[in-house]
Amino acid sequence: MANNNLLLDSCAVELSQAHPPLRAPCIPPGSGRAIALVGDSHATALAGGLRTIAEKSAYRLVELTKGACPELEGISVEAYSELGLSPECFSFNLEALDYIVKDPSIQVVVIAEYWPLLFATDAVRKGGSNMPLAIGRTKISQEQKWGYLAKGLENLVLRLQGSGKVVYLLQDNPNFRFDPVRLMRTRFIGPRRILATQLGNSSQGYTSDLAPDANDPNDLKARIIVGTIAAAHPTTHLLDLRRPLCSSQGCRFAEGDQVLYVDDAHLSLLGAQVALAELRLP
């Protein structure tokens, strides 16, 4: 099974916290070259896997992530409110980005997010992660939200590259309409398996380690925006976390008895290692 690396990560900033943890272990001591990870809880889920890659390439990993807080640049605090994001998110992003830009040892920045986050219509909780997506009700249109996302991400890439950073944009990992952890527990625990069969639990039909992803139309549109921004900046590295996990038969949520997710949307440590397999640092 899988440990919930989101809950075990001491650098996972709580929703009410407005300041990034500018201390060890989130910022490791030393002056050697570093890679910074920014984004929301989907970025947090990648931290363990990215740390392994970083250490193998002689980088320190600076982790500045915050749940329900997409990293956007050049967007006012009023715009954050219009998007349903908290003022704590605005303050966190402002301080985190300022730190990254001013630290010459940070040579690489990885941006990872649940890109459709802005399009939740009310406060929701994904799966069983205990990591809520605190997106409130908003009055602006979907098109205005897409505009903010595109503008905020474009400005972020421009500022990072303008300060000499190498930027990696990550297309999000696949998400599911069921909890892989719950499915795997049911698969391996007899009484739960019998009960699930009697109740007609549809996810138990996934007898292999593959299943269709959630097919969220907002995810598809967000992927187009992320891909377009990466293409407009040829020095930006675009990495698709779906590639190592998905095929024409479906997307992997487990390997044998090891789950690649901690809920329906966040990768486990093993899942992060698998999804990041194609990442190559300079």
Best CA proximity match to 39, nearest among 165, 227, 127, 168:
168
Strands 250-252, 210-211: pairing kind: antiparallel
Residue in the structure block whose two tokens are 């990550």: 170
Cα–Cα nearest to 215, from 255, 268, 251, 164: 251
Q: Which of 164, 36, 26, 28 is nearest to 100 (CA)?
A: 36
DSSP 87-101: HHHHHHHHHHHHHHH
Q: Model-level pTM greater than 0.75? A: yes
pLDDT at 3 (0 to 100): 64
How many alpha carbons fall within 13 Å on the CB side of residue 61? 22
Q: What is the pLDDT of residue 169?
A: 98
**Ranges in the chain, pLDDT < 70:** 1-3, 120-137, 188-205
pLDDT tens, position by position, 131-166: 445 565 677 899 999 999 999 999 999 999 999 999
Rounded to whole angstroms, how far apart are CA atoms 276 and 151? 26
φ, ψ at 77 (rounded to 5°): -65, -30
The predicted pLDDT at position 280 comes to 96
Domains of the chain in start order, with CATH, are: 5-176+214-248+269-275 (3.40.50.1110)
Please tell me the predicted confidence (pLDDT) of residue 261.
Answer: 97
Burial state string for 224-243 with b = 16 or more CB within 10 A and e = fewer than 16: ebbeebbeebeebbebbbee
Q: What is the pLDDT of residue 262?
A: 96
Residue 243 is predicted with a pLDDT of: 97
